[in-house]
Structure 1
C-alpha cells in the first residue's frame, strides 16, 4: 500500500472540504470585522452569532455561555488562572488528575509557584479517576476541580457526570478539558454539572487556531486576554471569523454523523486491538476497554523503543504517535502511562493509533501487518528480548 495512512487524528485532523468551502468567503468577500458598526460588517457579526449558537447546541449550552478562544490550551489556561484570581477570597486549592494534558498540568505547576495548592489525583490501571479519592481530596479551600472528559493518549472516558455532581454538592466549580471528546461523544453541560469546558476546532475536522470556552452563567471568572471589548468583555482580540465559521460547520457535521461514526470507528478500533493481541506477543493494551473513545488504540510493545517503531511505520507511510503531540520532542515516557502504573521500560514502547471514520479495514489490516514485521525486526536487535527468550526457554 503506497498511499499515506493517517492514524494520528488525536493530534489533529484534516479539514473537511465542506468546512473549507464554508470558510473561504470570509477571507475574500465577507472580510469585515464583526465588531464594526457599518452594514458591511453586520452580516459577518450575524454569521458569528449563528456559529456560536451551533457550537452551544453541541453541549446543550446557552449561546451567551460560549466564548471563542485560540484553542484548547488557551481555554485551559483561562479556566484555571482566572478561577484562581476570581475566587481567591474563598480559597486557593485546585484538584486535578495526574493524566491531564500538559495545558492543565503545566498551568497547575505555574499556579503552585504563585502559592496555589494543587492536588493531583491518582488514577486506576485503566486511567479512571477514583471517585472516593476525589471526595477525600476536597477541602474547605477547594475552589476548582478540573478533570478531562477523555484522555488524549489512552482514550479513557472519565466519570464526568459523577465528578460534576460531587463538585456541585460541595459548591466547587467544575472544569473539564473536553478537547478530545467534543464532537466525538455526547456531552451535555447541564446533565453533567459542568461549569466550564474547553474545546478545539482542529480535533473534529475543523481549522487550527480556534477553540471555545463554555462558562456557565453565574461563574464569575474575568478576562484572560485584555485589550478590546470582544466576547462580552471577557476575551479581547479581533475575531478569527473564518476559524469560527469553520469550527461551527465541523461541529454541525460531527453531531449529524456522531452515532454512525461512533459505531464505525469502534468496529475498526476493536478489529485492530484484537489482531494486535492475537498476533503479536508481549503487548499491553492501555486504557479502559469499554469507557473509551471510539477512535483510540493505545498499546505498549515490550522490548522495543517507541521512537524506532514510529520511524519504521513512517517509512511505510503510516502516521502514528507515541502519545501527545505536545510532547513529541521528549525522550521521557508518557506521564499518562506512568500514572497508570507502567514501568519505564514498558512505557517507552508505546504506540497510539487514532483512527477516523475514513479509516478502512484494509488500511487497519495493512498497519497491523506492518507492525508485526516491525516489532519482530526491532526485537531481533534487542538484547533485552534475547535475554528474555533465553530465560523462557530454560
Structure 2
C-alpha cells in the first residue's frame, strides 16, 4: 500500500521535502499551500545568496546541512538548467578592531570545510573588488547566487512528475491525529495522511497549535528592507560584499549583493515586525500573538538599543547609505532606490534567546520544522534528506 504523506508549505524547504519523500520513499505526497503560488514568502523575498557555510558553529545542523546543501543545490541547478553563479564573497573588516573576529570567522569557515577561504589585506581585497575598502577581508570564491523561486518552481514540477500534487490556495484550517492517520482540513477539503510534515515558515506557530504542540519557541518575524543600486553604480560591485557580523545576532548586517540578472541589492536591516507577513511598516495584524510571547519582550528589553538603531535605519535612507559607504565609498544617496523586502521567520525562546540553529521536532505522526531561517534556502535539499531520515521513525 502506497504511503500517503502531507507537507504543509510550498516554500523551497517544503517542496524539497516533498520531492525527497516521493523520490526516496515512493510516497504519494500532497503539498498544501495557502497562497496561490509556490515560494510566496521567504523563498521569494531573499537576496538569492547560496551561502558557503562561513558563519555557523562547527557541528551544528546549520553548518552540516549548509555544506551538504550547497553541493546538492549546485548539482540540481546544473541538471535542470537553472541559473547558478559563483560570484564570490568578501567579508570585510572596516576597522582594526574587526581584525580579530575576522580571523576567528576564517577559522570557523575552514573548520566547516568551506573551500578556497583566503585572508586578504586591504590591498589584496581591492584586487577582488576594486571599489571596496577595508583593513582586511575573507574571500570565499565559491559563494554563489541563484534564483530560489525558479528552484522552487522546478521542485514543484518534480513532485507532480513523481505522482504527487501541490495544492495551491489550500490554507490549513485544522489538523487532527487519529489512530493510523492524520486528518487535515485545508481549503474546503479534508485529507487523510499516514504522516504530516509541517514546513510552515511564518505560519509555523498557527499550524503547531493545530497539531497541539505549540512548543518551547515561537516565531518572531523580522522585516528585512532593501535598496537596489541604480544605473552605473551597479558596476561598483562585482560580487558580494559583507560586513563582519555581530556574534550576538543571527543577522549578517547590511551588505551588497549582486543578483542573477545583474542587479545589486543593499541590505537588509532587521526590524521587528508586528505581523507574520509584515512586509509593510503599518501592518499590525498579529501584534497580540507576537508581543504576547514572553520571549519577544525579553528580547526587546535586552537588545533595545540595537532595535532602536534598526528602526531608525528603516526610516532614514542616509543610514543605509552610510553603511554601504563603509565598504564602497563611491556610492551616494542618489545611487540607491527602494527595492522589495522580506520577512524572516526567526524562532525565539521563552527566555528571549534567538534560536540560531535549525530545529525539527516530532509530535506523534507529525514532523514540525520549528526554525529554518537562512541558510535554509541554500540547505533545502539537505534539510529534505535530514527530514526524510526522521519521518521513517514514526510508528503507524
Normalised TM-score (structure 1):
0.25
Give TM-score, length-normalised by structure 2.
0.25
More strand by share: 2
Greater fraction of residues in helix = 1
Q: Indicate the structure (1 or 2) with the bigger Cα radius of gyration.
A: 1
